[in-house]
């Protein structure tokens, strides 16, 4: 087996901790790239995506903190429509600051609890 990158090791460590503490709650998964930021609420027990939001279809949007706040509020609205109020936050291998933190704060303000 090839050695895992630091990012992949961090991602596995976060995911393992989430499995321990999730208690059957859906997972709010965040992924960011240089151009876009994505968020999904995933029910791991059923293997289904319950809600999603991203900066993809928005013309002229770059993945900055303002865009992350918009995605955070959009995912909170989509979660309400899907009937989800509490989630566990899966930051993946990304550090919890900047765009990831802005998305999480906006989702909390939108009504998600984690």
Residue 88: the pLDDT is 96
Residue 2: the pLDDT is 72
Residue 24: the pLDDT is 87
pLDDT in tens, 22-54: 888 999 999 999 999 999 999 999 999 999 999
The C-alpha angle with vertex 20 and arms to 41 and 13, in degrees rounded to 5, equals: 80
DSSP secondary structure code for residue 113 in this structure = B
Q: Is the dihedral of CA 57, 97, 10, 72 positive or negative?
A: negative
Q: Residue ranges of the chain with pLDDT lower than 50?
A: none
In this prediction the pTM is 0.90
Other C-beta atoms closer than 10 Å to the C-beta of 33 total 9
Residue 52: the pLDDT is 97
Token reading at 62: 């770059």
Inter-axis angle of helices 65-82 and 99-109, nearest 10: 40
Of 68, 67, 69, 79, residue with least CA distance to 112: 79
Residue with tokens 């989800």, as numbered in its chain? 84
107 backbone dihedrals φ, ψ, rounded to 5°: -65, -40
């Amino acid at each position: 087996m090839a050695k895992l990158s630091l990012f992949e090791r961090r991602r596995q460590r976060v995911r393992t901790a989430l499995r321990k503490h999730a208690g059957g709650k859906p997972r709010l998964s965040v992924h960011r790239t240089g151009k876009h930021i994505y968020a999904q609420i995933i029910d791991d027990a059923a293997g289904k995506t319950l809600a999603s939001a991203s900066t993809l279809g928005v013309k002229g949007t770059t993945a900055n903190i303002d865009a992350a706040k918009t995605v955070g509020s959009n995912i909170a609205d989509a979660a309400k429509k899907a009937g989800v109020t509490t989630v566990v936050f899966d930051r993946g291998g990304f550090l919890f600051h900047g765009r990831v933190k802005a998305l999480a704060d906006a989702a909390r303000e939108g009504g998600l609890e984690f």
